[in-house]
Amino acid sequence: MQKKAGPWFYVGLFVFVFVVMFPFLWVLISSFKPVSELFGDKAFIPYTSDPTFDNYMSVFVNHPFMTYLKNSFIVSGATTIYTVFIAAFAAYAIARLHFRGKTVILGLVLSVSMFPQVATISPIYIILKNLGLTNSYIGLIIPYTTITLPLSIWILVTFFRKIPHDLEEAAKIDGASLMQTYWRVIFPLAIPGIFTTAILVFIAAWNEFLFALVLNTEEAYKTVPVGIAMFQGQFTIPWGEISAATVVVTVPLVIMVLFFQKRIVSGLTSGAVKE
């Protein structure tokens, strides 16, 4: 399998990457097209003779897109920090300490990560409505725990297990308490794993749609996915604005993926692969 890659391999690879990237490239081009070139025969020309930033302007001027971005950042950021913090303790206990019912707890965490969101939404909606927490940040952060907490525990357990036991033993012999061992020894060693988990949790929260759609219906509290989904008017679909908005949302994610791809891959595959 380790034969040297031939030219056909690269041709195949190029075709594959092109197919994967094609929708983005097309949307990117369309976002710079003036409205007149988005319809009719000109719609199929892969370049524009008259590039314009109108679509981008419109996204921020005619839509509260800045607000959507801010909301998504606040909700996803807060969700990430608090879930990873809580999940790290649980994962440490599962990976390092001896206690009864460990398999049961891990099984519970795994099965909760499989729950369909729609099965929890009606009680969550009613409770948050009664508490007056719909259309608020906290009202989204709390339900996002359903998605992000099992995910973080699951990934972090794998990372914690990889940390060598010796250092911990040494700390114990030196008389460090459990919490001291955690904060001084384990935690610093686990920072790369925790960071990886945080990236995945952030992306998961950023992309969430159903809860955001149901719970935050006011413009001032909508997140990016909901905002984009609601861009279309009743009779016309503003493809230019949608393309521009898509680019605005995608570019930061592309940069993030390029920067952290190794971490993301190790996080995604950590639960799925047995070494």
Partner 1 sequence: MEENTAKKKKKKLSERSAAYLLIAPSLLLILVIAIWPVLQSFYFSLFDLRLSDPTKSEVHTSYQIDLKRYLDNYPFLQGSIDKELRNTQGETAQQLNSIKEQLNQLDSSLREDEEIQERYESINEKLINIEPVLDKESLIEIERDRAKEIQETIQSIYQNVKQLEGLEDPDAVKGLTSALTDVVIKPNFIGLDHYVKNFMDKRMWMAIWNTVVFTVVSVAIELVLGLLIALLINKAFFGRGLVRASILIPWAIPTVVAAMMWKFLYDGQNGIVAKLFEEIGLVDSMASLLTTDIGAMFSVIFADVWKTTPYMALLLLAGLQTIPKSLYEAAAIDGANKWKQFFTITLPLLKLSILVALLFRTLDAFRVFDLIFVLTGGGPANSTETISLLAYKVLFAQTNFGEGSALSVVVFICVAIISMLYISLLGRDLLEDKK
Stretch touching partner 1 by CB under 8 A, among 35-43, 52-60, 62-70, 189-197: 35-43
**How many Å apart are CA 80 and CA 83, to the nearest integer?**
5
Residues 115 to 174: which contact partner 1 by CB under 8 A?
115-126, 142-143, 145-146, 149-150, 153, 161
Residues 177 to 236: which contact partner 1 by CB under 8 A?
178, 203, 206-207, 209-210, 214, 224-226, 228-229, 231
| Residues near partner 1 (CB under 8 A), total | 101
Q: Measured from the CB of residue 139, what is the shortest distance to partner 1 in angstroms?
A: 12
Q: Does 23 bind partner 1 (CB under 8 A)?
A: yes
Q: Does 49 bind partner 1 (CB under 8 A)?
A: no
Stretch touching partner 1 by CB under 8 A, among 10-18, 49-57, 60-68, 189-197: 10-18
Residue number with CB closer to partner 1 (27 or 167): 27
Q: Which amino acid is at 153?
A: I
Residues 69 to 108: which contact partner 1 by CB under 8 A?
86-87, 89-90, 92-94, 97-100, 102-103, 105-108
Q: H-type helices in the chain, by residue range?
A: 7-31, 54-61, 65-96, 102-113, 118-130, 138-162, 165-173, 178-180, 187-207, 210-215, 224-229, 239-270
- Residue in 46, 20, 48, 21 with CA at minimum distance from that of residue 36: 48
Q: Measured from the CB of residue 70, what is the shortest distance to partner 1 in angstroms?
A: 16
Residue number with CB closer to partner 1 (107 or 188): 107
Q: Which residues of 118-136 are buried (b: 16+ CB within 10 A; e: fewer)?
A: eeebeebbeebeeeebbbb
Residues in contact with 171: Cβ distance below 8 Å, sequence separation at least 6, in sequence order: 180, 181, 184, 185
Q: Which of 17, 61, 191, 220 binds partner 1 (CB under 8 A)?
A: 17
**How many Å apart are CA 24 and CA 47, to the nearest integer?**
14
Stretch touching partner 1 by CB under 8 A, among 17-25, 55-63, 132-140, 186-194: 17-25
Name the residue with tokens 């525990």.
153
